[in-house]
Amino acid sequence: MEVGYQVGQVVLRGSLDLQQQWQDQLAQFRASRDAGFDIYCWAHHYLIDPFQHFQPLPILSRLAGEAGNMKLATSVLLLPLLNPVDVAEQVATLDHISEGRFILGLGLGYRGEECKPSAPACPSGEPAPPRPLT
């Protein structure tokens, strides 16, 4: 069995300096690695005002260099809101940097605030209904 850690990285805007937020999350990462967790997961959101949130691929890339044997995962990456070719290139790079320890978690999204600006991906501006990825 493997045990993972889902990062609670959303912070109320203005309640914490962004650099302090990053330092705190880096300390959480190191603590979870040192405690023996097998997987470290980072979520993906856009437009979550009044909160602030760092994006997963740059963060996981930064952490890959000190992850040891811990796997890194997106939980989940909102693929319909992104360019799939760019995502494929970035996650292939991240998988290489992490020496094959990257797990790609994909999702469709569920928040209208994230879908509305991406009209082609979510024509109604509403959350996409759940469906299996084939």
pLDDT at 45: 85
1 DSSP assignment = -
Q: Each residue of 85-128: pLDDT tens digit?
A: 999 999 999 999 999 999 999 988 777 777 766 645 554 555 55
pLDDT at 123: 47
Alpha carbon of residue 96 to chain centroid: 17
Average pLDDT on 29-40 reads 97
- For residue 97, the tally of other CB atoms under 10 A from its CB is 18
Structure tokens at 113: 């605030």
Dihedral sign of CA atoms 87, 88, 90, 91 in order = positive
**41-64 tens-digit pLDDT:** 999 888 888 888 889 999 999 999
pLDDT the model gives residue 116? 67
DSSP 106: E
| Res 18 pLDDT > 90 | no
Residue 112 has a pLDDT of 74
16 closest CA partner among 42, 44, 52 = 52
Domain map (residue ranges) of the chain: 4-115
What is the mean pLDDT of the segment spanning 15-43? 93
